[in-house]
Amino acid sequence: MRINQLLFGPAGVPITSPVRDSARAVSYVKKLGLGCMELEFVRGVRMGSYTARQVGEQAEKHGVVLSAHGPYYINLNSQDKAKIDASIKRVLDTARVASMAGGYSITFHAAYYMSMPKDKVYEIVKSHLKSIIRTLSKAGVRIWVRPETTGKQSQFGDVDELVKLSTELDMVMPCVDFAHLHARSNGRINTYKEFCEVLNRIEKSLGKEGLYNMHIHMSGIEYSSKGERNHLVLRESDMNYKDLLRALKNYKCRGVVISESPNIEADALLMKKFYEKLK
Ligand SMILES: [Zn+2]
């Protein structure tokens, strides 16, 4: 699946939605003027196939693109085999349910380094992802599987690691969380030039395809030297979303931009309106 423009939407059912169920929230997202919505399976994949199909029907009817966020309890580098198996199952369940809803893309936080060398963790994550992709492919599930750039240095997932995984594995692409990159680098990656460096890095390895097939997360963010602390509303943070949107526009990026700010849909609309005014 490809998207021919940059769409903006909330991480989950909008706060101001009169209904709390995902299927009916889709039409509300459309009514707000937004183009996508992320299904939040962060506390577990509890959506059944019947609901997933209902959500998918509504998304198709209203032309809203769906993505999904997998559970937080995923660590493909756990020392405990049972935890690895459970992590793999959580990624598979996220992909299966999102695919039933006609989803475009799924994302998740792949692993922790657990004080191990980065290159070793990379190989472990890669081998598990490879088996995940194989299982999905055998089951006929076609959806982009995206490890996310994470907000802490103790977590696997910097831009280089994700770009490399994407070049080496079929159906794998990065989910670029710019707030996480900003927090992970303790306040860097927040200027037009630095945003362009991230996009250049993606283009260099993945080509234009990397820029035309993006899944982006954004929010304001509070951080310390250890990285991410919590998400903030954009205007109450130092996140330079305006220059990020300028960079995304100038590089002609396409795909989805999901707002994970505490006011989810308000910041999605703020970004969309600013982006549309850019020349
Ligand atoms: Zn995330």
Query: Could you report the per-residue pLDDT of 220-251, keeping only the tens digit for each?
Result: 999 999 999 999 999 999 999 999 999 999 99
Cβ distance 29 to 16 under 8 Å?
no
Q: pLDDT (tens digit, 9 = 90+) per residue, 55-81?
A: 999 999 999 999 999 999 999 999 999
Give pLDDT, residue 204: 98
Distance 279 CA to ligand 1 centre (A): 30
Cβ contact 173:213 at 8 Å = yes
C-alpha dihedral (210, 108, 23, 274), degrees to nearest 10: -50
Rounded distance from Cα 177 to ligand 1 centre (Å): 7
CA 108 to ligand 1 centroid distance, Å = 6
Determine the distance separating the centroid of ligand 1 and the alpha carbon of 243, expressed in angstroms. Answer: 22
Looking up tokens 């998207």 gives 3
Q: Is the pLDDT of residue 27 over 80?
A: yes
The mean pLDDT of the chain is 97
Please give the Cα distance from 8 to 36 (Å, whole number).
6
What DSSP designation does 217 have? E
Residue 72 is given by DSSP the state S
Query: Residue 180 C-alpha to ligand 1 middle, in angstroms?
Result: 9
* Distance of CA 258 from the midpoint of ligand 1 (Å): 10
The pLDDT score that the predictor gives to residue 1 is 77
- Ligand 1 centroid to Cα of residue 107, in Å, is 7
Ligand 1 centroid to Cα of residue 260, in Å, is 9
Main-chain phi, psi angles of 111, to 5 degrees? -170, 170
Question: Are 37 and 62 in contact, with CB atoms under 8 Å apart?
Answer: no
What pLDDT was estimated at residue 131? 98
